[in-house]
Amino acid sequence: MAKELDAQDVKAIVDEEIKKFVKDSLEKELKRSLGRSNSPVRAEVVSIIKDALEAVYKVLWQKRDFWKTDIR
């Protein structure tokens, strides 16, 4: 008789498959996607990094007076 799968069994199988993909294929897929200079994935990653660095810079710029007085 076939065993019926409950939610926990399905979750365990999905978790196992995701871990296997991350371990085996994720790095290869990222290198392949980011390796092409005209890739939309690469453009999106560059945009995300640029936005993140810009946000950090803005926060640090706003807090510059705090850092100046606190460091002395």
Report the alpha-carbon distance of residue 32 to residue 23 in Å, rounded.
16
Give tens-digit pLDDT for 10-36.
899 999 999 988 888 878 887 887 888
* Dist CA 10 CA 3 (whole Å): 12
pTM > 0.85 = no
Average pLDDT over residues 53-70: 84
**pLDDT grade, residue 42 (50/70/90)?**
confident
Q: pLDDT confidence of 8, banded at 50, 70, 90?
A: confident
What's the pLDDT score for residue 1? Answer: 43
